[in-house]
Amino acid sequence: MEFFLQLLVNGISLGFIYALAALGFVMIFKSSSVLNFAHGELLAIGAFLFLVLSVWAKLPILLAFATALTGSFALGFVIERLFLRPLIGEALIQVIMLTVGLAAMFKGLLLFIFGGDIHDYPKFLPEGLTIKWGTIQMPSVYVAAFIIGILFLLLFGFFFKFSSQGIYMRSVADNQPAALSLGVHVRRVFALSWAIAALVCHERHGAWHH
């Protein structure tokens, strides 16, 4: 029974992290009907960006995390502006195939720069963060993932419910033509969707790596 409960805790923790990663994927699909096949590569870029800042540049962990968040957010804007926006109005299959090409391009760049070796992250989470119930243990990395994930979910919840841009994104997701007829800047919504998706990708890696 204890072994089952340990597996249950680990499974819920891991599933929570993947659910956060899926949030960005769903956000892009709901706002633009595009299946983003480069989402996995965005996850990898967020991980390597944090690696470069924390290990290679030796920045303090909090500064590296905040800088990587900002860089991932900006990357989403750049990808949408350079690659996706010129295809607005084209057949949807062309946009989807573009994301396939972006996935291959990003994967090739990461392999060229970092190689295929395993890279280690610094152990920056305090062991006191670990939670124990008898023989059942929740490692500090899972606890941190829950805390950071819940904070981001609350942040996004307030953003989508109360901010003007969040309401615009919800309207585009519900009915894009109607939102456009009411004056919503749909292209800006697309750009913001990609930026937030890239941001969530990095947050997932920041919560996971320890």
Residue extents of the structural domains in the chain: 15-111+140-208
Determine the average pLDDT of the residues in 90-94.
82
Average pLDDT over residues 6-17: 80
pLDDT at 97: 92
Structure tokens at 54: 């924390």
Per-residue pLDDT, averaged over 64-85, amounts to: 88
Confidence of residue 202 (pLDDT cuts 50, 70, 90): low
Q: What is the pLDDT of residue 107?
A: 93
CA angle (160 as vertex; 77, 170 as ends), nearest 5: 80
Against a cut of 0.85, is the pTM above it? no
Single out the residue of 51, 14, 23 nearest to residue 199, CA to CA: 23
Contact 84, 36 (CB under 8 A): no
Question: For residue 106, is pLDDT > 90?
Answer: yes
